[in-house]
C-alpha cells in the first residue's frame, strides 16, 4: 500500500558552497547539511533538497516561489542584497521587474530571479 508520510522536491546546483551561501545569507533561509546535499527549510514547514550535480543544467522553469505580503519591499530588499531580477520577452514587467498581475486581474504580482546555479526563483504577492 502506498502510505505517504510526506513529500518534498529537490533541485541541483553546480557549486554547493556558493548556493548554500545564497540561500542562507541572501534569502535568509535555514539550510541543514545532509548526506549528498542539504535541506533548505521553507517558511510554513516545507523543505526542499538541494544537491550537487557536476553536469548541472539550470531549470528553465520556476523551482521555488516565495510568497510575500509586500512585493515592492521584497524586491527592493533583495535588490539591495545583490539579487538581479529577470526580464522576459512578452512579459510586461515594470522598472523593478515586477509583473503586476493583481491590478489586471491576471493572477499574482510576481518577479523572477535566479540562484547562483541559474535556477529560477520568484517572489510573489497573491490576490486578496
pLDDT digits (tens, 9 = 90+) for 44-60: 999 999 999 999 999 99
pLDDT of residue 7: 87
| CA-to-CA dists, residue 28 to 25, 58, 59, angstroms | 5, 22, 22
| CA-to-CA dists, residue 10 to 2, 16, 33, 60, 71, angstroms | 21, 13, 14, 15, 25
Q: What is the CATH number of domain 9-125?
A: 3.10.180.10
Report pLDDT digits (tens) over 57-102.
Answer: 999 999 999 999 999 999 999 999 999 999 999 999 999 999 999 9
**Contact call for residues 105 and 97 (beta carbons, < 8 A):** no
Domain ranges for the chain: 9-125
The 3-class SS string of 57-77 reads CCCCCEEEEEECCCHHHHHHH
Asked if pLDDT for residue 1 goes beyond 90, the answer is no
pTM: 0.93
Amino acid at each position: 500500500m502506498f502510505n505517504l508520510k510526506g513529500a518534498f522536491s529537490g533541485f541541483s546546483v553546480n557549486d554547493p558552497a556558493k548556493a548554500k551561501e545564497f540561500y542562507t545569507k541572501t534569502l535568509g533561509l535555514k539550510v541543514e547539511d545532509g548526506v549528498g546535499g542539504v535541506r533548505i527549510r521553507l517558511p510554513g514547514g516545507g523543505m526542499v533538497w538541494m544537491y550537487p550535480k557536476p553536469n548541472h543544467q539550470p531549470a528553465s522553469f520556476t523551482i521555488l516561489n516565495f510568497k510575500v505580503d509586500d512585493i515592492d519591499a521584497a524586491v527592493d530588499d533583495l535588490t539591495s542584497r545583490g539579487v538581479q531580477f529577470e526580464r522576459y520577452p512578452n512579459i510586461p514587467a515594470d522598472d523593478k521587474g515586477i509583473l503586476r498581475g493583481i491590478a489586471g486581474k491576471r493572477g499574482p504580482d510576481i518577479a523572477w530571479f535566479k540562484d547562483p546555479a541559474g535556477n529560477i526563483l520568484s517572489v510573489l504577492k497573491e490576490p486578496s
